[in-house]
Amino acid sequence: MAIKLGSIYGIPLYLDYSWFIILALIIFTVGFGVMPSQYPHLPYAEYLLLGVLSAILLFVSIVVHELAHSIIAKRNGLMIGRITLYLLGGVSEMTEEPPNPSLELRMSAAGPITSLAIAGASYVAWIASTSVKASVIIQGPLYYSALFNLIVAGFNLIPAFPMDGGRVLRSIVWRLNGDMIRSTKVASNVGRIFAYLMMFGGILLAFLYPGYFFDGIWLVLIGWFISSGAQHEYKQVQMMRDVADLKARDMMTRNVDRVPEDITLTDLSSQFLQRKHNGFPVMRGDELIGCVTMHDLRGTKRELWDSTRVTGIMTPKEKLVTVKETDHAKKALSLMGSNQIGRIFVLSDDMSGRLVGIITRTDVMRTIQMQESFLKSAPAPAPKGSERNISVEVGMLFQIISPEYDGIAWSTSFNPGEFSLISEQIVQIAPDRQTKQFTLQALKKGTFYISLNRPGDKKTALRYTIIVS
């Protein structure tokens, strides 16, 4: 949960509720922990003021750090969804990945460099303030800001996702090997090793040196935070790769339950009961004009249900997030992520606004599972006319995947008694490209052949040698 603070440079700025915890913690530890050792014997109120001022400086520093990332991204045409300030700093949510390694390097390095610059400026200002013997109220926060920004820069340069250093590392590997996915994997693994080392070190510290128990626990927590971030980042990139060739229409559910615009709320409530959905698109003929949810209905007094039409409480189409059927699936995914919504409506390509489908989280998960099982079981479809060897054991199920095709489907042929065909399934790769997956079972030991062919096309038949042991 987060509240919106406003926007800077057109980028919405959000504050996660967890930030209030850190705010209290900072006012307390800085005001009554750090400051008294630096400036002893001050009145209680002054320590409190020192804590508050330091917290404000810290807050501004983090916002500037995040802005530095976002401005570079925006200037280079990347969309930034929003900036959210969390317990451990900030996160700039990009709705797309940077297109090349040099932009990613500039973008990710901008944050820590900015923090270093703030640290330097604060340090210079602190020196100046001590030489003119300025009030402790000015000196204290400047000193703390220099220290804090140095720590932020250092912490963010840890080469692990989701730290900036993880992105810096990925951009360097990416420039070397030219492969974004593999670089993400490398950076994500390095991040995990770091995270495990931190957790291990934290446990050692906590139990071998009782005086540092809480520092040890902190290390474990940060390590855990980094390891889950590293995994998340890799999954995100993998997910984008899985749907790279798909369009919105390949992912959507086509038959969407809908309600007409003129029904009353009483009718709507019975639709909710009968069809067990949490929301319905509201239609004028074939055209989508809005969306109504259970939540909208609950917000209306019961006495008004008979006299109110669904159009009176729905969210109008202008406020809904929609994609066109030929938009990239990636676009639908990033819109769902940046708007934090679970469903997105798919409209026809023409201007009619016709509703052709809906993409929900379930659709996304199903598509990704299907694509992943497909990518895993098909390292590379056999090239035309080639042979393949497959080793299996008796009774084992195995798969043969046809090359991509358009039009006439592939079929298998083999001697009965050697194999049995368990299932065949068409996998849509793109609207006009598909492959066929055959799941077979080996019935007896020996070396046998399975051929894959397309009716009326003798030349492109493929032969598979199956060694059954």
Binding site for Zn ion (CB under 5 A): 111, 164
Query: Minimum distance from CB of 156 to Zn ion (Å)?
Result: 5
Q: Quick check: 321 and 333 in contact, CB under 8 A?
A: no
Query: Minimum distance from CB of 52 to Zn ion (Å)?
Result: 25
Query: Minimum distance from CB of 66 to Zn ion (Å)?
Result: 6
CA distances from 312 to 119, 286, 291, 293, 307 (A): 54, 19, 11, 12, 10
Q: Which residue is nearest to Zn ion (CB)?
A: 111
Nearest of 24, 148, 147, 21 to residue 86 by alpha carbon? 21
State how far the Cα of 114 lies from the Cα of 120, in Å rounded to an integer. 10
Radius of gyration of the chain (CA): 29
Query: Minimum distance from CB of 75 to Zn ion (Å)?
Result: 17
Query: Minimum distance from CB of 91 to Zn ion (Å)?
Result: 8
| Of 108 and 139, CB closest to Zn ion | 108
Nearest of 224, 226, 278, 246 to residue 367 by alpha carbon? 246
CA distances from 394 to 47, 82, 316, 419, 467 (A): 77, 55, 60, 10, 10
Nearest of 218, 175, 168, 206 to residue 190 by alpha carbon? 168
Query: Minimum distance from CB of 158 to Zn ion (Å)?
Result: 11
Query: Minimum distance from CB of 65 to Zn ion (Å)?
Result: 6
If one counts every other C-beta atom within 10 angstroms of the C-beta of residue 227, the result is 21
| Of 88 and 138, CB closest to Zn ion | 88
Longest dimension (CA), the chain: 96
Query: Minimum distance from CB of 63 to Zn ion (Å)?
Result: 11
Query: Minimum distance from CB of 111 to Zn ion (Å)?
Result: 3
If one counts every other C-beta atom within 10 angstroms of the C-beta of residue 11, the result is 19
Query: Minimum distance from CB of 152 to Zn ion (Å)?
Result: 8
Nearest of 380, 316, 322, 320 to residue 348 by alpha carbon? 322
Query: Minimum distance from CB of 159 to Zn ion (Å)?
Result: 13
CA distances from 164 to 30, 111, 146, 293 (A): 26, 7, 20, 39
